Structure 1
């Protein structure tokens, strides 16, 4: 790996602070819970946790803080897998209630070491949150579960309002960016199963700045719409450390805006959040999806409306 490139001015962020930030962090620490915000060093943690544009949000990371895979873009620790905490679903639901969230994002590390790859614990956490308060909206950002249909079905049956799974990058760059156990077609199969077999909104995310060509991004958007993915986000890849993949390019904000327009206007995605600091769990996207769900419109009706508006 070469030395890290100097970041442009548009990528500079304020350090996290504020009363709301402190409150959320305290609630998580009291229950020994993890967030992807912290584990992956998300650049939006200060904004989301401090609640500058409304109530603070956090993305809970289930199944521990160690991943069984080793993707070369990700800062989450790998190896040394630990036993699951059987109280985790209850702890997460308690934290959601204490913090006062009405839109919850759940994600997880990969747990290829477990017989069900963690799908059961993921599903139980969704059910526990909904059991406490059915009005709380739950977005589940799931692993690929090695593409096993019955494990994806467990998440669908638990009844989240949104199921997200990230393709991360264009098909050509899947390796070396992602672990070899992941794959473009495998990720598409997960998203297609959700969109074809449920009335649940689907969502995915791509990182830019890894050496992708425009025509490859365009093809990825086409592939995603062919399987009725509803929401897509674009964000800048940032190198977590010198041992991770180098940044190929810092994409200008104007280019991100162009991709937003392409996604929404050319491909009829219901929504696209696109910007250097956008991540898959991004509050602007969550607020949009929340409005869709609370409006009571079915997923199919929303898709048809988007197509008719083109």
Structure 2
């Protein structure tokens, strides 16, 4: 795969605020002591300092080796060797220790498992709720290769938000993602809403990989056609020279316009800014989705 050399200097609006104080160090030590992984670290999220300083994190379950090799993602790829059945309990203990009010749980893709890890997702949600009954739980799931029984396993525990990212526009999907298919992602979001109509669904698009304006709007329309409620839009940043190249840096003004377009199309909440990632300000999205649902009753 051919990559491009990045511009020498990123725009000012992509400067990351560093805040490695006591909360950051404490949280990092706790994660290591419980042998847990976070997507904040594994995917090199630009918001890790802000979120960890505020004692929020996105847990990454099912290990730290992904069976896919998406061209935008920094997570290690390969063939996982084990399945940790005690992981849900340790995630719940960490969430309790942090005193979370909203917990996000995601995972690597585990195409080596018959259910793609759906059972561990379900057990993690149940474990968190047992220790933190008033904590809302969001799951960011892979597509399970279209195994809808696996999706049903997750939906049966009724997460507060079901998140699955389409990542990019349809034309670029096969180039950006590995194994995941744009129509299948939309089908997953559609089926999730059919299984549990009252659970908000969410998806994310990263910009700067070669998409056109009209294609972004079409992706929004595609998501609304399957009743997706929450949308996040952020700038793609190349994790290493071997990953997909950045085609352009999208100005904050364009992100602001896209937020307007999203809200115009009926999303209950839209986060749209260069450093936004799928779980950024996730706790606010629960409130927005709940208020939007109440307003329609």
Q: TM-score, normalised by structure 1?
A: 0.91
SS in 1 for 2:70: coil
2:37 to 14, 22, 34: 34
Please list every run of 5 or more consecutive structure 2 residues that lacks an aligned counterpart in the other structure: none
Deviations 1:128-177 (A, max 9, x none): 11122221100000000012111111110112100000000000000210
Structure 1 residues 248 and 61, CA, compared in 2 at 3 Å: closer, same or farther? same
2:278 to 277, 280, 288: 280
Deviations 1:27-47 (A, max 9, x none): 111100000000000000011
1:4 to 6, 10, 14: 6
SS in 2 for 1:78: coil
SS in 2 for 1:219: helix
Structure 1 residues 146 and 80, CA, compared in 2 at 3 Å: closer, same or farther? closer
Question: Quick check: 1:72–1:245 contact (8 Å CA) kept in 2?
Answer: yes
Aligned to 1:158: 157
Aligned to 1:214: 213
Question: Quick check: 1:137–1:290 contact (8 Å CA) kept in 2?
Answer: no
1:75 CA displacement:
0.2
Aligned to 1:45: 48
Looking at structure 1, the residues matched to 289 and 268 of structure 2 have their Cα atoms a distance apart, in angstroms, of: 10
Aligned to 1:308: none
Aligned to 1:115: 114
Runs of 4+ in 1 over 4 A off after TM superposition: none
Alignment of 1:73-92 (within 5 A): 73-92=72-91
Looking at structure 2, the residues matched to 260 and 194 of structure 1 have their Cα atoms a distance apart, in angstroms, of: 24
Looking at structure 1, the residues matched to 207 and 199 of structure 2 have their Cα atoms a distance apart, in angstroms, of: 27
Looking at structure 2, the residues matched to 292 and 272 of structure 1 have their Cα atoms a distance apart, in angstroms, of: 10
Count, aligned residues: 293
SS in 2 for 1:154: helix
Question: Quick check: 1:27–1:99 contact (8 Å CA) kept in 2?
Answer: no
